[in-house]
Amino acid sequence: MMGAGKTRVGKEVAHIMDLPFADADVEIQHDIGMGIPEFFEREGEPAFRKVEADLIADMLEDFDGIFSLGGGAPMTPSTQCALAEYIDRGGRVVYLDADPAEAMERANRGGGRPMLNGDADARWKKLYKERDPVFRRVANVRVRTRGQTPQMAARKVMDMIRERMVHVTGSGIEPYDVRIGEGTMNHLPDVLGEGVARVALIHTQPVQRHSDHARTLLRQAGYTVSDIVVPDAEAGKTVDVANGVWRRLGDEGFTRSDAIVGLGGGAATDLAGFIAATWMRGIRYVNCPTSLLAMVDASTGGKTGINTEAGKNLVGSFYTPAGVLADMRTLATLPNDIFIEGLGEVAKSGFIMDPEILRILEDHASELRSFDGAMFLDSGLKDVVAELIEHTVGVKAYHVSADLKEAGLREFLNYGHTLGHAIEKLEHFRWRHGNAVAVGCVYAAELSHLLGYIDQDLVDYHRSLLDSLGLPTSWNNGSWSDVLALMHRDKKARGNKLRFVVLESVGHPIHLEDPPADAVEEAFRRIQQ
């Protein structure tokens, strides 16, 4: 909006990011050879908008830097299309959302604004009403600047435009974004939206520091927050815990217009999503993953659920979050072993789809293996991890977008999980999920090899890569009959037939229906060594 500080803040952002800055109004005046008020007077608004739209389209093609648009520009349909294409090419369109009183005061101060002729405040308010919904729609970054100096606002803009983003869409999915970067939790109020009054913040005790931060953000934005601490890790994914949370929501009067925020590792986000899916048959929820595994996998895609006596994740639903905020600052407190566990799901995504993930893992194996949260944010590893998260969420989004309810393609994300879930259950969940998946991937590779799909080299590659990352590649703590019984309860099984995901090559998974019993058992013998 006029007076929001686009030029002032834009210049500041360009300065701190060492980028060129351009202002659409200055460029236009240069092109038309006169001031904008004069051009408005002589040619009228439609002629001005045409000149403006053409210039913006050219700049979005050719200019690399920070570009400030006039407040009316995004109202022109051709500019809306140009901005959408710019976003598709990886661009960031920032809506600088200022406090109306501050913006009106600044807009009136400067003068020379043809759109504010007459009663300037009334005109400003009318324009705001028309433009605000459009600005929200065309921008992929919204920065609230209430009470902030231009320098503070510029820092906020910079953090936000440096974020990585993966868009998740598809049939049956209300589109949402996974935002990855430092400070992405600041988006919580935007993602929750204005229709929500109460928020249940569901988290575990080890992430208290991060939930305190989230609670502050939520309270500052005006939400009534219920802080709900659930038992840690798999102990939280039970029907008793879910029942306790439902009771709290009932006691505190949660209605359909309220929301859940799930904050923590994958167990906490699985539980929070399940509560959101079931409370009043479904309320809005946002995930704030704080472990690597939850960032790359659990928080996205809408698989929510709890465990039962019969096995892992056997009760749940497909229920999509309104957004995922992977705030890399939370990784500063993550213990090394839990970080490494997350690499199990990262490697899985490399094996089934994205060789670039495998290349990054190979190139940085020893740094990743020595992950130290306390040093992380000031280290070069931060960008490597951000890239791994973006790639891995990209793999997840690809499968989920095409097949939300896991009719076929999405099952490929389950590579390594048929045995992995059985190991977790037989180990009474003392084995971490990502570690069990790592062994499960070696098992699936062995099975692929036994049936002639891949050669021994690729099986060996599974072992050497996972081992270089500090992940386990063997397991020898359970009987074959127990393992087999649990694999029959896997959700991919049909009737009494086992189904697996195996590989034909890196990036080419296939379904394997009812494989020969001796191969299934022999692959197990091979991971016991």
Ligand X SMILES: NC(=O)c1ccc[n+]([C@@H]2O[C@H](COP(=O)([O-])OP(=O)(O)OC[C@H]3O[C@@H](n4cnc5c(N)ncnc54)[C@H](O)[C@@H]3O)[C@@H](O)[C@H]2O)c1
Ligand Y SMILES: O=C(O)C(=O)C[C@@H](O)[C@H](O)[C@H](O)COP(=O)(O)O
Active site residues: 281, 303, 345, 396, 406, 410, 414, 417, 421, 433
- Report the distance separating Cα 330 and Cα 134, nearest Å: 33
327 lies in the binding site for ligand X (CB under 6 A): no
Pick from 323, 326, 6: which is nearest to 145 by CA?
6
Strands (DSSP E) contained in 39-163 are 66-68, 94-97, 141-144
Which of ligand X, ligand Y, none binds 472 (CB below 5-8 Å, type-dependent)? none
Q: Which of residues 472-511 bind ligand Y (CB under 6 A)?
A: 491
State which of residues 55, 185, 259, 298 lies at the interface with ligand X (CB under 6 A).
298
> What residue number has its CB nearest to ligand Y?
313
SS3 of 318, please?
Answer: strand
Q: For tokens 């465990």, name the residue.
A: 307
Which of ligand X, ligand Y, none binds 190 (CB below 5-8 Å, type-dependent)? none
204 lies in the binding site for ligand X (CB under 6 A): yes
State which of residues 301, 350, 394, 472 lies at the interface with ligand X (CB under 6 A).
301
440 lies in the binding site for ligand X (CB under 6 A): no
Q: Which structure tokens are listed for 51?
A: 């000149």
97 lies in the binding site for ligand X (CB under 6 A): no
* Among the residue ranges 243-251, 290-298, 357-365, 440-448, the one whose residues contact ligand X (CB under 6 A): 290-298
- Report the distance separating Cα 358 and Cα 269, nearest Å: 26
Spatial neighbors of 133 by CB under 8 A, at least 6 apart, are none
435 lies in the binding site for ligand X (CB under 6 A): no
Q: Which residues pair with 96 in a beta bridge?
A: 143
211 lies in the binding site for ligand X (CB under 6 A): no
Q: Say which amino acid occupies 392.
A: T
Phi (first) and psi of residue 309, to 5 degrees: -55, -30
Neighbours of 319 (CB within 10 A): 19
Pattern of binders to ligand Y over 331-370, x per CB under 6 A? --------------x-------------------------
Which of ligand X, ligand Y, none binds 410 (CB below 5-8 Å, type-dependent)? ligand Y
Pattern of binders to ligand X over 403-432, x per CB under 6 A? -----------------------------x
Q: Which is nearer to ligand Y, 94 or 267 (CB)?
A: 267
Q: How far is the CB of 431 from ligand X (least distance, A)?
A: 11
- Report the distance separating Cα 239 and Cα 136, nearest Å: 39
Spatial neighbors of 154 by CB under 8 A, at least 6 apart, are 9, 12, 13, 15, 16
Q: Say which amino acid occupies 317.
A: S
State which of residues 181, 189, 301, 509 lies at the interface with ligand Y (CB under 6 A).
301
293 lies in the binding site for ligand X (CB under 6 A): yes
End-to-end CA distance of the chain: 66
Q: Which is nearer to ligand Y, 74 or 265 (CB)?
A: 265
Neighbours of 382 (CB within 10 A): 16
- Report the distance separating Cα 382 and Cα 385, nearest Å: 5
313 lies in the binding site for ligand Y (CB under 6 A): yes
Q: How far is the CB of 240 from ligand X (least distance, A)?
A: 16
State which of residues 226, 278, 313, 435 lies at the interface with ligand X (CB under 6 A).
313
Q: Which of residues 450-509 bind ligand X (CB under 6 A)?
A: none
- Alpha helix ranges (H) inside 261-364: 266-278, 292-293, 336-352, 355-363
Annotated binding-site ranges for Mg(2+): 7
Q: Which is nearer to ligand Y, 74 or 311 (CB)?
A: 311
SS3 of 388, please?
Answer: helix
State which of residues 6, 210, 410, 432 lies at the interface with ligand Y (CB under 6 A).
410
Q: Say which amino acid occupies 249.
A: L
Pick from 463, 427, 449: which is nearest to 500 by CA?
449
Spatial neighbors of 197 by CB under 8 A, at least 6 apart, are 223, 224, 257, 258
Give me the residues that bind ligand Y (CB under 6 A), please: 297, 301, 303, 313, 345, 406, 410, 413-414, 417, 491
Residues that bind ligand X (CB under 6 A): 204, 206-207, 232-234, 237, 264-268, 270, 290-291, 293-294, 297-298, 301, 303, 313, 330-331, 333-334, 338, 341, 345, 432-434
